[in-house]
Chains A and B, each alone.
Chain A
Amino acid sequence: MSSLAVTTVDLARIQFATTSLYHFLFVPLTLGLAPLVAVMQTLWYRGGDERWLRLTRFFGTLMLINFAIGVATGLVQEFQFGMNWSIYSEYVGDVFGAPLAIEGLAAFMLESTFLGLWIFGWDRLSRRVHLATVWLFALGSWASAFFIISANSWMQRPVGSKVTDGRAELTDVWELFSNRFGIWAYIHVLLVGLTTASVVIFGVACWHFVRGRNQELFRQAAKLALIVGVPISAVNLGIGSQMGVVVTDYQPMKIASTEAQWDTCQPCAFSLFQIGGFTEDDQTPSFSIQIPHLLSILATLSWDGEVKGMNGLQAADQSQYGAGDYIPPVRATYWSMRVMAYAGTLVFLVLALGAFLYRRGRLATTRWFLWLGVLTIPLPYAAALAGWVLSEVGRQPWIVWGLLKTVDANSPSVSTATIATSLGVFVALYVALLVVDFVLMRRYARVDPPELGGEGDEFSLPAVEY
């Protein structure tokens, strides 16, 4: 039974969900733009085409505005494990702390140092070394994502560790970093980043086409975005689907909840849309659209595969872990999965249509499509956030799958009033930052890319200024 009283754990959960999702608004664009800006700069370096230099600076500026807020909100992520989840921290630190510490020392340090060199090094470094700095920045951001995803994947599928004296201990670091769950999740996140950056570059280009400005320059940008975005967004639909297979292997309850599958089925139809069927008291939807066999294929890669239902899994979990509710919030997992999948598919379709129009030479003149390109920008964000909701809400009631429950993991010394205070501070601060960030991103996405200085003077213009 749910009660109206909001508990300390609930508030801590809301705060973690809010701050994490907010942080992830900025992560994918950095992950994707870093290598793409590096590619632009490389194209300029190798071919001497100054249009690529102008694009490097144009999108580099957007990347930096975005990166600043990602850094600022990332600090919160690291601190609040200890602040709000001290029991969790003590329980998992031996295992979970290692990837976080390595991330800071080996990845984030690389990312931040070489970003500073890239921003301020235009006239201090040789072209070749300066090019290397942007690649090292990109490498740092990708390495950083690897360690964070490894840590999160251990919460989803704890491997390389054992529980001794009431806390988890690391037993095999290679197992931790080669977690099958983590490898697929990592690839998925990287491709989400590249897709997001492609959509942003493409959307910005579309806007400039609509205005009839900087056409030649943004044709190049659009081409790069399409070359990267079309195949990557297509492949990522497959990788996402493979994630479903991995989840089925390790977290059958999460899949059952995602599909609102109360009873075990074989073969299983995929529910595209349904009304009702989301609670234990109402297990049969009053309306649904289904595709036969599709869930069997997605979850098990076979035509007639079996997917276990929540009723049976709940009974099994109770006999294994004791009394309790082991079913995650079904409505949230069901719809977050569909928002993710539908938005991801739409992104691919828009980019594919864009590529078709581009090849026909009609991209810059098809105005309705250009507006569609601009309006597609929010879609990869919606997909990415929905994906995290699915992954994290779907893990409930566990904070570490099968080992520790979320309700047992928060800080005993932190009161409800204290968390309410911090939640209020974060929400107010984050809303203000989001407004400023949006205004700045919009302004700098709409300006004309700065012309280069006079002859031989292309270094005089810093990518950003203080």
Chain B
Amino acid sequence: MDLETFWFCLIVVVWAMYFLLEGFDFGVGMLLPFVPRSGEERSTTLRTIGPVWDANEVWLVVAGGATFAAFPAWYATMFSGFYLALLLILFFLIVRVVSFEWRSKSESPRWRATWSWANTIGSFGAPLLWGIGLANLLGGVPIDSDGHYAGTFWDLFSPYTVVAGIAVVALFAFHGATFLTLRTIGDLHDRAERAALRLAIPAAALGAVYVVWTVAMAIDRNDKDLFPPALPAAVAIVALALAVVFILRGRNGRAFTMTGLGIVAAVATLFTSLYPRVMVSSPDFGNSLTVEGAASSHYALAVMSVVAVIFVPVVLLYQGWTYHVFRHRVGDDAVNS
């Protein structure tokens, strides 16, 4: 495998990590007005993701930085082209970040409700727009012969991309509800379980529609064959179906593994469908940005590869350890001690 392809794969891994991890903390944020019934329960709900959401979000920072470093032309065209969408994403992420820290800083119910809603709105808005934005890489956007974005904000919305955005939201909500069932006790746990049950089938169905449509787009818009994109798509569909089965049978741990696998496979479906391009141009397909054309020099990629090979495993180790440390159900302290 050449270095350009290696870096494309690495960026896929980073996006997959971001969606896998921040996916459930977004989901928990979305469920905040619906699953917990009191301010106290909302605090408990937030505490399930408290120790980890910030580090989860760093995967996004890494995705941005890695794209900038390894594929400057991709980063430049995508980030300037999706300008207003990214502005909205930043807005959602910013209010959400501060909501975590600030909500508990006053006893006033109005204050707490405000920041709970800020968290929820951010948790819905950011993944919706990420879903729409990333789907546009494949769905095709107007790119001129200099590689600059030539469309408007509204060009980002098409039936395919909007369904992609909604599917991402639904999958994260399901993923988050399943996570909550593993981290809560009592009434809160029971309500999280009911939420997961309700979300399971719609989320899995939307996820399946999304991956099938993605493969169709790959063939239609990106000159791809059925294979390999159909492979991760099949994995995604099977995993999501299993997640539904497991949640129906009350096997929440396994269900969470499957929602996670489904999300990772869905990300893989998108990027497998995209390769060897990084941004499909439509209507002028010839102006599409490619892995080869957008990549940095060999030396820069080699240096970055050394860094990645050393640090990605280290990061996974200590992040994994964090999840081990906080594996207990929140609110269970009295029982433990």
A complexed with B: yes
Given contacts A98-B69, A104-B62, A465-B104, contact A93 B76 (CB under 8 A): yes
Given contacts A82-B76, A106-B307, A440-B105, contact A466 B65 (CB under 8 A): no
Cβ–Cβ contact B296 & A94, under 8 A: yes
Residue among A82, A91, A94, A412 making CB contact with B300, cutoff 8 Å: A94
Bound form: Cα–Cα A90–B66 in Å? 13
Cβ–Cβ contact A78 & B80, under 8 A: no
Please provide the chain A residues from 79 to 108 with a CB less than 8 Å away from any CB of chain B in the complex: 79, 81-84, 86-87, 89-98, 100-106, 108
Bound form: Cα–Cα A81–B315 in Å? 26
Cβ–Cβ contact A97 & B299, under 8 A: no
Q: Is B224's CB within 8 Å of the partner chain A?
A: no
Range of interface residues on B (Cβ < 8 Å): 35 or more
Cβ–Cβ contact B46 & A108, under 8 A: no
Q: Is B58's CB within 8 Å of the partner chain A?
A: yes
Bound form: Cα–Cα A89–B300 in Å? 15
CB distance from A101 to the nearest CB of B (A): 4
Q: Is A413's CB within 8 Å of the partner chain B?
A: yes
A88 to B, closest residue via Cβ? B76
Cβ–Cβ contact A112 & B58, under 8 A: yes
How many residues of A are in contact with the other chain, CB < 8 A? 74
Bound form: Cα–Cα A96–B76 in Å? 13
What chain A residues lie within 8 Å of B61 (beta carbons)? 74-75, 78, 104, 108
Given contacts A101-B304, A104-B65, contact A464 B79 (CB under 8 A): no
Please provide the chain B residues from 188 to 202 with a CB less than 8 Å away from any CB of chain A in the complex: none
Cβ–Cβ contact B79 & A86, under 8 A: yes
Q: Is B50's CB within 8 Å of the partner chain A?
A: yes
What chain A residues lie within 8 Å of B333 (beta carbons)? 123
What chain A residues lie within 8 Å of B50 (beta carbons)? 116, 119-120, 466
CB distance from A168 to the nearest CB of B (A): 10
Bound form: Cα–Cα A293–B276 in Å? 63
B142 to A, closest residue via Cβ? A413
What chain B residues lie within 8 Å of A91 (beta carbons)? 72
What chain A residues lie within 8 Å of B102 (beta carbons)? 65, 68, 436, 440
Cβ–Cβ contact A98 & B150, under 8 A: no
Given contacts A112-B55, A124-B326, A440-B102, contact A86 B300 (CB under 8 A): no
Q: Is B284's CB within 8 Å of the partner chain A?
A: no
CB distance from A40 to the nearest CB of B (A): 20
Contact bitstring B301-317, A, C-beta under 8 A = 1, else 0 = 00110011001100100
Bound form: Cα–Cα A92–B296 in Å? 10
Please provide the chain A residues from 417 to 466 with a CB less than 8 Å away from any CB of chain B in the complex: 418, 421-422, 425, 429, 433, 436, 440, 443-444, 464-466
- In addition to A104-B65, A105-B315, 20 A-B residue pairs with Cβ atoms within 8 Å of each other are A67-B101, A71-B57, A82-B64, A82-B75, A82-B80, A83-B86, A89-B79, A90-B147, A100-B65, A101-B66, A101-B68, A101-B304, A109-B319, A112-B54, A113-B318, A116-B52, A125-B325, A422-B84, A464-B101, A466-B47
Residues of B within 8 A of A (CB): 43, 46-47, 50-55, 57-58, 60-62, 64-66, 68-73, 75-81, 83-84, 86-87, 90-91, 93-95, 97-98, 100-105, 146-150, 296-297, 299-300, 303-304, 307-308, 311-312, 315, 318-319, 322, 325-326, 328, 333
8 contacts between A and B (CB under 8 A): A75-B61, A93-B72, A96-B68, A97-B68, A109-B55, A125-B325, A412-B148, A413-B150
